């Protein structure tokens, strides 16, 4: 019988213990969204020097941390695996990819430590929705077109849930953003403050509670008018290859247009109200249902058909006019949004759209542009889910549903007027706000003034024409991703897209 060396046994046990202790450190952690409070500050496109300075002052007063971020829509030519193309755009075409850059410490705090680790290695993080669409895997390489026109290849180091990375398709570090030529700062992210009330005090003291600055808080409640992230848009309506042309226009692959846009991109009439437009085939039934409901409710006169057919419509393959030199694509390139009554609802003006029309479109799966940072009252953008019963202190045309508790933090500057505000303590409103009611301050305790549409029972949900285009998806999750998408600027701008 062989004798065992006691010291050897001790050595084995020590090695096992060390190995077990080391295992949790070496094993990958799940990429979950950060749980700390944080905010982002952005303007309608490039972060202005005034907002940047005010944000820096507020950060100093709070003893907090801040980092700038950059975002843009960048063209992708190929997805490679071992040098072989898994996905490739047709020759001279590119796929639009939403790219957002984060400093390492900001990514660790607001996304997850795993995201920060990948960025520190010089690799990128790809959102799960985008990865699933193209069959991407960790270790694959994406080939992107930099601002200077050269190709940049970046390796995927992680595929993360969309909610973790705020709806961005691709997250890069500062060095990779530099290589891509993303030179425009689009937002500032602030974290590490002692309390929400301290944050609000610093924001107010530095003039950041303003109609020109979007303050997105990680604890914000859902807005009925938040739009989809770029990856959500693609998952719902498809991804097209496009070419750059002159000015702000783009040229979309004709076969994609023929397969996805009504009339092959040529305007065709809707039944009832005489709107003529080329819209995405998935979106068109919802628009038809909304227009039919508007007519059935006696509101046809609220739509200026002549103006809408001349200056509005759905399909317009171009860049977003508000994204400037950042290069974000317009949602009209997907023909997922329709503009109406353009003269009385210009970008940046006070919306004049009848709130009953707004509420009907929300019911059929549209967000309304009147509450965008740069108000866009002509704009109805498809989101694929009913938004008419989301309670939110909207600046214009609130839904009438009760507003969830919000911790006393305003969603818009103090002193601004809000049409028909509804308190969380009010009974549930199932009618559509009267657009002719006199606006009252948000602090009022007066009940909302409402009017029902034709065929509705008082106190009940308005009679509606159901549309199969509205999908029964998890609304809270979808809106949450949309909110974080705006927060991290995944498309290079806050919102607004006429």
Do β-strands 65-81 and 84-88 pair in parallel, antiparallel, or remain unpaired? antiparallel
Write out the two tokens for 477: 């999750």
In this prediction, residue 20 carries a pLDDT of 35
Q: Which of 111, 133, 129, 130 is nearest to 120 (CA)?
A: 111
* Sequence-distant (≥ 6) Cβ neighbours of residue 35 within 8 angstroms: none
Binning pLDDT at 50, 70 and 90, where does residue 404 land?
Answer: confident
d(CA 38, CA 194): 11
What length does the chain have? 498
Lowest mean pLDDT among 204-208, 211-215, 218-222, 350-354: 218-222
Name the least confident of 15-24, 83-92, 149-158, 317-326.
Answer: 15-24
Q: Mean pLDDT over residues 303-307, rounded?
A: 97
Other C-beta atoms lying within 10 Å of the C-beta of residue 82: 8
User: In this model, does residue 27 exceed pLDDT 60?
Assistant: no
d(CA 96, CA 168): 12
Residue 55 to residue 41: CA distance in whole angstroms: 8
Other Cβ atoms less than 10 A from the Cβ of 87: the count is 18
Return the closest-CA partner of residue 167 out of 120, 223, 118, 229: 229
Pair 300, 294: CB distance under 8 Å: yes
Distance CA 180, CA 46 (A): 17
pLDDT band for position 406 (cuts 50, 70, 90): low
Lookup: tokens for 118: 């990948």
Q: Which pLDDT band holds residue 248 (cuts at 50, 70, 90)?
A: confident
Q: Collapse the DSSP code of 88 into the 3-class scheme (helix H, G, I; strand E, B; otherwise coil) and give the result.
A: strand
pLDDT at 60: 98
Q: Which helix (H) or strand (E) holds 433?
A: strand 432-433
Dump the DSSP string for 7-39: HHHHHHHHHHHHHHHHHHHHSPPP-PPP-S-EE
> If we measure between CA atoms, which residue out of 70, 152, 157, 53 comes closest to residue 112?
157
Please tell me the predicted confidence (pLDDT) of residue 440. 29
- Report residue 327's pLDDT band, with 50, 70 and 90 as the boundaries: low
**Does residue 490 carry a pLDDT above 70?**
no
Most confident of 109-113, 356-360, 373-377, 443-447: 356-360
- For the chain, the straight-line distance linking the first and the last C-alpha, in angstroms and rounded, comes to 87
Q: What pLDDT is attached to residue 93?
A: 97
Spatial distance between the Cα atoms of 316 and 334, rounded to a whole number of angstroms: 8
pLDDT grade, residue 488 (50/70/90)? low
Identify the three-state secondary structure at position 246: coil
Looking at per-residue pLDDT, the higher value among 27 and 486 belongs to 486
**Nearest in space to 125 (alpha carbons), one of 99, 86, 96:** 99
Residue 22 pLDDT class (50, 70, 90 cuts): very low
Interval 217-246: pLDDT, tens: 888 888 899 988 889 999 999 999 999 888
pLDDT tens across 364-389, in order? Answer: 999 999 999 889 999 999 999 999 99
- The pLDDT of residue 31 is above 50: no
pLDDT, tens digit (0-9, with 9 covering 90-100), for 177-189: 999 999 889 899 9
Contact call for residues 157 and 138 (beta carbons, < 8 A): yes
SS3 per-residue string spanning 284-307 = HHHHHHHHHHHHHCCCHHHCCHHH
**So where are the chain's domains?**
38-217, 230-488
Q: What is the mean pLDDT of residues 446-464?
A: 30
Give the Å distances, CA to CA, from 13 to 21, 26, 169, 380: 12, 20, 46, 67
For the segment 333-338, the average pLDDT, to the nearest whole number, is 96
Report CA 50 to chain centroid distance, whole Å: 24
pLDDT on residue 413: 35
The two three-digit tokens of residue 239, written as one number:
């991804």
Secondary structure E strands in 128-195: 141-145, 151-160, 170-172, 187-191
Whether residue 437 has pLDDT greater than 80: no
pLDDT value of position 227: 87
Mean pLDDT of the chain: 79
Residue 271 has pLDDT above 60, yes or no: yes
């Amino acid at each position: 019988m062989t004798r065992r060396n006691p010291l050897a046994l001790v050595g084995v046990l020590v090695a096992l213990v060390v190995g077990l202790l080391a295992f949790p450190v070496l094993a990958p952690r799940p990429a979950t969204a950060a749980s700390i409070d944080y905010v982002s500050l952005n303007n309608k496109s490039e972060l202005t020097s005034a907002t940047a300075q005010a944000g820096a002052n507020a950060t100093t007063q709070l003893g907090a941390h801040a980092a700038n971020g950059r975002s843009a829509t960048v063209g992708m030519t190929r997805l490679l695996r071992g040098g072989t193309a898994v996905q490739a755009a047709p020759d001279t075409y590119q796929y639009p990819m939403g790219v957002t850059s984060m400093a390492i410490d900001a990514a660790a705090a607001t996304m997850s430590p795993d995201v920060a680790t990948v960025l520190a290695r010089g690799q990128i993080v790809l959102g799960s929705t985008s990865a699933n669409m193209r069959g991407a895997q960790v270790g694959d390489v994406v080939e992107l077109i930099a601002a200077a026109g050269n190709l940049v290849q970046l390796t995927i180091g992680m595929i993360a849930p969309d909610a973790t990375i705020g709806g961005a398709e691709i997250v890069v570090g500062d060095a990779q953003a530099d290589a891509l030529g993303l030179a425009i700062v689009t937002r500032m992210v602030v974290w590490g403050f002692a309390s929400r009330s301290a944050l609000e005090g610093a924001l107010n003291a530095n003039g950041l509670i303003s109609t020109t600055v979007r303050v997105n808080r990680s604890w914000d409640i859902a807005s009925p008018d938040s739009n989809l992230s770029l990856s959500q848009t693609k998952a719902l309506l498809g991804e097209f290859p496009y070419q750059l042309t002159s000015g702000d226009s783009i040229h979309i692959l004709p076969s994609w247009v023929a397969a996805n846009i009504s009339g092959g991109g040529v305007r065709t009439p809707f039944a009832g109200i005489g709107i003529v437009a080329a819209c995405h085939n998935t979106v068109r039934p919802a628009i038809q249902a909304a227009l039919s409901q508007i007519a059935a409710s006696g509101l046809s006169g609220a739509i200026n058909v002549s103006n809408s057919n001349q200056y509005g419509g759905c399909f317009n393959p171009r860049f977003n006019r508000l994204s400037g030199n950042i290069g974000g694509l317009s949602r009209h390139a997907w023909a997922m949004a329709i503009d109406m009554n353009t003269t009385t609802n210009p970008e940046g003006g006070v919306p004049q759209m009848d709130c009953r029309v707004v509420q009907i479109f929300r019911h059929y799966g549209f967000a309304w542009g009147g509450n965008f940072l740069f108000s866009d009252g002509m704009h109805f953008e498809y989101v694929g889910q009913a938004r008419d019963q989301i309670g939110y202190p909207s600046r214009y045309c609130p839904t009438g549903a009760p507003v969830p508790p919000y911790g006393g933090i305003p969603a818009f500057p103090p002193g601004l007027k809000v049409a028909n505000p509804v308190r969380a303590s009010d009974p549930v409103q199932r009618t559509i706000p009267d657009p002719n009611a006199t606006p009252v301050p948000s602090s009022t305790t007066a009940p909302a003034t409402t009017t029902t549409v034709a065929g509705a029972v008082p106190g009940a949900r308005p009679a509606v024409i159901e549309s199969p285009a509205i999908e029964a998806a998890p609304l809270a999750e979808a809106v949450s991703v949309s909110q974080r998408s705006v927060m991290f600027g995944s498309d290079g701008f806050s919102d607004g897209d006429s």
